[in-house]
A and B are shown apart, each in its own frame.
Chain A
Amino acid sequence: GAGVSQSPSNKVTEKGKDVELRCDPISGHTALYWYRQSLGQGLEFLIYFQGNSAPDKSGLPSDRFSAERTGGSVSTLTIQRTQQEDSAVYLCASSQTSGRNNEQFFGPGTRLTVL
């Protein structure tokens, strides 16, 4: 079956431009998560969706970051006025529910480079 997909796989942009990253979770998965992984680092939690609502936005690093999810499915992460420190791999994951025993299924990530 189809796993989590993300697009684009690579994005190079100039400082100050806006970017949109897309995540298609596994069909039927109600929980969706965005993480950021800088080179050689662990995963930094950004935001979590349960259905279309985001109960936890605590990880968003600044008000330049926003995310939405529509139809309980596709999610987009938008970064406005990108900065060089935004360069990282952005990973999306979904799980069947947000229960404590649900493993996450990860997408391949979007590598963002801000010049």
Chain B
Amino acid sequence: EPEVTQTPSHQVTQMGQEVILHCVPISNHLYFYWYRQILGQKVEFLVSFYNNEISEKSEIFDDQFSVERPDGSNFTLKIRSTKLEDSAMYFCASSLTVQETQYFGPGTRLLVL
């Protein structure tokens, strides 16, 4: 069964450094999403992406964040200058249409020191 994959599974970085989180959505899906979950807190929507542009974003997704689909298979989340509070599990998801079920990847655990 097709699945969403994410790399790396764990990432440790120093405050102020740039990180790029990688996702490979399900191949025929058209909508892509990033979510985050701070330890012990709710899963939070960050951004959705369709047709090579951001379709919606939350208040969390400020200028420090960017997303890109550099080729036909990858979907990346970049954090330009990481802060301690960016430490969280980051989930990528994809869906065939905007109405249908979103399929989530296993997540990347980011720790900012």
Q: Do A and B come from one complex?
A: no
- Chain A contact residues, CB within 8 Å of chain B: none
